Amino acid sequence: MAIFIRPQDATAKSPSTVAEDIIQQSLDAEKLDILGIGSAISHTCSTVGIATGIAKLFLKKTHIDYVQTILGDFEAIYFMLNTKPTTEIGETVSRLEREITSNKPGPGGQIVLVSKLAEVRRVTTTCLYKMREFELIKIEGAGFAMSPAVSAALQVVRLSKDPVRVEAVNLDSIQAKDTGRARTAISIYLRRGKSGDRDADFTRTLRELKIIK
């Protein structure tokens, strides 16, 4: 079962409302495919963060890529949710975190923090500089900053002179400093020296939603 979250959906329904729909649909399916594109990426991440935070739904797979439509290329994020606990993403992220030895944001570190007001092109340039110095970097964004974080990561993969692949994408719940409320954050791990292939389940979901043939 696939759920498509478009930019117009993000303005019509809150993440909590869409999360309710996902939770209800999980009663009839062990696996759910969630796809968000363009400006709905932050909304999609928040929705998945809420659903997995309050119900027996678990992240089994994540993928980011471009989607070609008649209106042009759009950034897209894909989640596969499972009703049974899974450890694949958690184990991968734990392994990658051990490689983040320069774990301070800013110059000389492997972490790039993205704010909701950040210009994607500047984040991309910062990441390209860091990819020259480090084999592995991590891009982090929370709330509305999740969309530009994904955009920058995909631009780095497309623009880097050296091959770069997305090693992992993970969601976490963090506490907002201004309100103290929990909100969803995304972490994207990029590795230099390797190129990546489009995920088969991502492609299957695009076909199921009739976005591609």
Structural domains of the chain sorted by starting position, each given as residue range(s) with its CATH number in brackets? 2-208 (3.30.110.20)
pLDDT at 117: 87
Q: How far is CA 3 from CA 189, 200, 205, 210, in A?
A: 25, 17, 9, 12
pLDDT surpasses 70 at 206: yes
- Alpha carbon distance 44, 21 (integer Å): 13
pLDDT at residue 154, rounded to an integer: 97
- Positive or negative, the Cα torsion across 56, 199, 18, 151? positive
82 contacts 53 by C-beta, under 8 angstroms: no
In this prediction, residue 188 has a pLDDT band, given cuts at 50, 70 and 90, of very high
What tokens were used for 62?
């994540």
What is the average pLDDT value for the chain, to the nearest integer?
92
What mean pLDDT do residues 86-106 have? 88
Which of the four pLDDT bands, split at 50, 70 and 90, describes residue 110? very high
Under the banding of pLDDT at 50, 70 and 90, the label for residue 180 is low
Lowest mean pLDDT: which of 157-161, 170-174, 208-212? Answer: 208-212
φ and ψ of 47, to 5 deg = -60, -50
- Considering the entire predicted model, what is its pTM? 0.93
What is the per-residue pLDDT across 8-17, written as a single tens digit (0 to 9) for each? 988 899 999 9
pLDDT digits (tens, 9 = 90+) for 112-165: 999 988 899 999 999 999 999 999 999 999 999 999 999 999 999 999 999 999
| Spatial distance between the Cα atoms of 77 and 99, rounded to a whole number of angstroms | 25
